[in-house]
Amino acid sequence: MTLLANFLAIAIVLNIIESAIPVIPVPGAKLGFANVVTLIVLYVYTFKDSSILTISRVLLVSLLTGKLLGPVFYMSMAGAILAMLAMGFFKKLNFFGILGVSVLGSVFHCIGQVIGGYFVIGSTAIVLYLPIMLFLSIPAGVVTGLIAQRFLKIWETWNRDLQ
Amino acid sequence: MPVKKGILFIVLIFGLLTLSACKKPVASTFNFYEYMDTFISISLYAESESDAEIMKQEIEDIYSMYHELTNNYEDLSFGSTYKENIFTINQKINEDIEIDQELYEILEEAIRLNILTDGYFDISIGKMVDVWKDVISNDVDGYMHNEVPESVFQGILDDLVDIEVVEEPFILTETDGKYYVRLTHEDVKLDLGALSKGYATQVVYDYLIEKGVEYFSITAGSSSISIGKKIDRKTEMFHISLANPVESGQTYGMIYVQNKAINTSGNFEQYFLYKGLRYHHVISPKTKMPAQFYHTVTLVGEDAGTLDALSTALFSMNEEAFEAFITNHQEELNLEVIRFNYDETVSTYLIDTVFEEF
Amino acid sequence: MKSMNNQKKRDLILIGLLFILLGGTFVLFNMLAFKDDAALAHVYYGNSTDPIVSIDFTKQTVEKFYDQEVPATFTSTFPVIDENLQTITLLGDYTINGVRQIVVIQYNFERRSVQIIQEESPNNICSREGESTGWPLICLPNRIRVEFVTNQGDFTV
């Protein structure tokens, strides 16, 4: 439990840090680095754990930054949920490795944000940002995946050592 | 070997120099804000910057002159070289007033157009137009685009009863190379607003053609455009979209044209509302009121001045008169029309211009 | 281990495919979208599908359609249009200490462009979008967006 709590803390911090990186051209969009923790917890624990963690993370971050129920909150939540569902699904499929799952998660995170943005702003104008956001989500997903992969390797050795 | 290299080098440099001297057409745009109460913008491709500069000056001189001569709300500017303008002429009834040739010629054109349109185009109804314009542009009560009270509307009708449409409102004479105009009745007030912009633009158009400029566009306000050919496009045609008068900001169609004048009259820019109808600023000399037959009438033709007057005249004609005019004059004037009707259908009377309805 | 290697292979193929697909879409999009001159720019606030202010680049006019609902603590009405500076000032939704902040939009008739030049939002991200001649400017934290209308025509009459 405490480990999960630690993971949550890390996720929150990551989220806040990445908020400081403006994703031009869409104000409010994020690259999804906080998904690293979602991904790791998905592989180390269960899908259920990962979901709870992710949703808690989004809620807590918006509470902390004072943006609860603001437009940014809806975009983050939509993105995070879609990413989570996608990653859970593809992991279960066992067709791709962690890198693939991460990239797919990143792509769906992006789509989720756009959907969330559509409901907030009420116009399809935000769809026009999809091409660039989708394109950027690939390297973001690769980086996230590599970090998670590295972490999992270390985790495995660490776990074995503990045994 | 070094000699050969040297020669090659020199040839290359020479080649580059001559190529760069090869004249690429220079694009220029001039904008004028102070003539005829409208925004005038001219884009053209000239042989060189200095050519463009000269043309800019000469074009400005043309607009400036017609602006001064046709000005109907203030006196000639201090130190002006012109004899009279419309404002000063309107102050003197039943007097032979000497005027400049250019003003005489535009007044002649006005008479010609009055005959051509059977009286639907009439520049002498300034007093009537004022009665309507005073209400439309009333800033204090904010009637523009809004509903007016019955008392105000009735007030307009009352004022109009006393104003006559004069049969022969002004007479032009010429003796010994001097030009004169005489207003025949105190209800006559000349207003060249529905002709001057197009007329001046046509002078500019003819000037550009004479100078050999092929690629250009002249816009005078948002309702009048004259164009040559379009550069950077294979077809060299201009794509001109038509503003939808009932859905603000939308367009309802596109025409593909070159070397033509285009003019639109409409009821969607300046108007007030009364019992659901738009009372706009195109006043019919036949009824003393703005007509309610169509929302917009767009004309494509040869002469911007003629189109300016015709779009005003046609706007006041009912369907029967409209169709009769087209039948009688379309061929001789090479005139094409696209009309946005009150029931939101579009009627077209085209010859060879392509119109695409959205 | 073999399954791991297979998965790794598939990962790489996936990434490669996505890169080409999304990259291609992105490049095409940039080439084709927003290449025409703008005729109008509409400023929208909140969820409204009707513009609050419209900028007409052809007629060179700016028109306001309705006033925003502002708290009584503000002495002026919004939006405020300044034709000399060519700016439109709206009240955004982003709050600092509970007070809503202004958003200033700059328009330019000659260049047919619009830019958000002043606003408060996390990292002032909206004002970093730059000067736009066609692509929409979206300021999510303030729920203000600017969308362009290109008629695909050279002129509108």
Contacts of C47 (CB under 8 A, 6+ apart): A121, A122, C143
Please list the ranges in chain B whose pLDDT falls under 70.
1-24
Q: How many CB atoms lie within 10 A of CB B321?
A: 17
State pLDDT tens for residues C63-122. 888 888 888 888 888 899 998 899 999 998 888 888 888 999 999 988 889 999 988 877
Residue carrying structure tokens 């039948």:
B327
Tell me what percent of chain C is helix, strand and coil, each rounded to the nearest 5. Answer: 25, 35, 40
C3, pLDDT greater than 70:
no
CATH of the domain at A34: 1.10.1760
Q: Which two tokens stand for residue B317?
A: 């004609």
Judged by a CB distance cut-off of 8 A, whether residue C93 touches chain A is yes
Residue C150 C-alpha, separation from nearest chain B C-alpha, in angstroms: 10
Residue C25's SS3 state is helix
DSSP A113: H
Measured CA to CA, the distance from residue B136 to residue B132 in angstroms comes to 6
Higher pLDDT, A65 or B229: B229
Which of A26, A100, A128 shows the shortest C-beta gap to C14? Answer: A100
Which residue in B122, B125, B184, B193 sits closest to B160, CA to CA?
B125
C37, pLDDT greater than 80:
no
Dihedral angle over CA of A111, A112, A113, A115, nearest 10: 90
Measured CA to CA, the distance from residue B38 to residue C86 in angstroms comes to 19
Q: What is the pLDDT of residue B354?
A: 93
Judged by a CB distance cut-off of 8 A, whether residue C33 touches chain A is yes
Which residue in A119, A96, A1 sits closest to A39, CA to CA?
A96
Mean pLDDT of C37-63: 84
Residue C94's SS3 state is strand
> How is chain C split into domains, by residue range?
1-33, 40-149
Instruction: Answer yes or no: are the C-beta atoms of C139 and C27 closer than 8 Å.
Output: no
Residue A148 C-alpha, separation from nearest chain C C-alpha, in angstroms: 14
Q: What is the ipTM metric for this complex?
A: 0.81
Number of domains making up chain A: 1
Alpha carbons within 13 angstroms on the beta-carbon side of residue A62 total: 17
Residue C20 C-alpha, separation from nearest chain A C-alpha, in angstroms: 9
- Give φ, ψ of C109 to 5 degrees: -65, -45
Q: Which residues pair with B261 in a beta bridge?
A: B226, B301
Q: What is the pLDDT of residue C50?
A: 83
- With the C-alpha atoms ordered A84, A89, A93, A96, is the resulting torsion angle positive or negative? negative
Cβ burial B202-240 (10 Å sphere, 16+ → b, else e):
bbbbeebeebebbbbbbbbbbbbbbbbbbeeeeeebbbb
DSSP code string of C66-115:
------TT-SS-S-EEETTTTEEEEEEEEEETTEEEEEEEEEETTTTEEE
- Per the prediction, chain A carries an average pLDDT of 81
A56, pLDDT greater than 90:
no
Q: What is the pLDDT of residue B258?
A: 95
Which residues of chain A neighbour C18 with C-beta distances below 8 Å?
A: 103, 107, 138
Residue C60's SS3 state is coil
Q: What is the pLDDT of residue B327?
A: 96
Q: What is the pLDDT of residue A67?
A: 67
Q: What is the pLDDT of residue A3?
A: 77
Higher pLDDT, C126 or A90: A90
Q: What is the pLDDT of residue A144?
A: 87
Domain range C40-149, CATH architecture: Sandwich (2.60)
Tell me the pLDDT band of A45, cut-offs 50, 70 and 90. confident
Instruction: Tell if the CB–CB gap between C154 and B264 is shorter than 8 Å.
Output: no
Residue C146 C-alpha, separation from nearest chain A C-alpha, in angstroms: 9
Q: Which chains touch B (3 or more CB pairs under 8 A)?
A: C
Q: What is the pLDDT of residue B311?
A: 92
Instruction: Tell if the CB–CB gap between A24 and C129 is shorter than 8 Å.
Output: yes
Measured CA to CA, the distance from residue B216 to residue B202 in angstroms comes to 13
Residue carrying structure tokens 């994020």:
A30
Which residue segment(s) compose the domain that A70 sits in?
2-162
Tell me the pLDDT band of C56, cut-offs 50, 70 and 90. confident
State pLDDT tens for residues A23-37. 555 555 666 777 888
DSSP B24: P
Which of A65, A72, A126 shows the shortest C-beta gap to C138? Answer: A126
Which residue in A103, B226, B345 sits closest to C14, CA to CA?
A103
State pLDDT tens for residues A118-157. 887 777 777 777 888 888 888 888 888 888 888 888 888 8
